[in-house]
């Protein structure tokens, strides 16, 4: 026959094991939710890196890297698009020459 103390010990041990299973299950759910959130954020970053709000040919993510305005195709307002300036190794944040100066070269 099992003593009442032994029965209590068995009951406490079973409860401890159940509590541990519940804890581990809750941790797995939390990790799964965190993983899903990270996946969604990564997918959003992947979509965002191709957005070009000002349609100047430079994705917004690169505009932030260059320090240019992602909402204006010509950040320094010198008549040349940010893409043209970056492609020509000019600084798209500093006004170089006005557009009229380039028209003179074409004549």
| CA–CA gap between residue 105 and residue 86 (Å, rounded) | 20
Count of beta carbons in the 10 Å neighbourhood of residue 86: 19
Q: Which two tokens stand for residue 88?
A: 């020509």
Burial class (CB in 10 A: 0-12, 13-18, 19+), 80: buried
d(CA 29, CA 36): 10
Q: What is the pLDDT of residue 105?
A: 47
- CA-to-CA separations, 79 to 13, 83, 84, 86, 106, in angstroms, rounded: 78, 12, 10, 13, 15
Residue 72: what pLDDT? Answer: 93
Using a cut of 0.85, tell me whether the model's pTM lies above it. Answer: no
Ordered per-residue pLDDT tens for the chain, 107 residues: 889 899 999 999 999 999 999 999 999 989 998 999 989 988 887 777 788 999 999 998 889 888 999 999 999 998 899 999 988 888 888 887 554 554 444 44
pLDDT at 97: 59
Look at residue 98 in the predicted model and tell me its pLDDT.
54
Do the Cβ atoms of 93 and 76 come closer than 8 Å?
A: yes
Instruction: With CA atoms as reference, report the closest residue to 54 among 87, 77, 21.
Output: 77
Tokens encoding 101: 């100066």
């Amino acid at each position: 026959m099992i003593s009442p103390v032994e029965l209590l010990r068995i009951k406490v041990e079973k409860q401890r094991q159940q509590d541990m299973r519940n804890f581990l299950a809750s941790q797995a759910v939390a990790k799964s939710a965190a993983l899903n959130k990270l996946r969604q954020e990564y997918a959003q970053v992947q979509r965002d890196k191709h957005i070009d709000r000002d349609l100047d040919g430079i994705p917004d993510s690169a505009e932030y890297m260059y320090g240019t305005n992602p909402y204006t195709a010509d950040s320094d307002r010198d008549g040349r698009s940010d893409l043209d300036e970056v492609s020509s190794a000019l600084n798209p944040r500093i006004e170089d020459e006005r557009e009229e100066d380039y028209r003179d070269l074409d004549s």
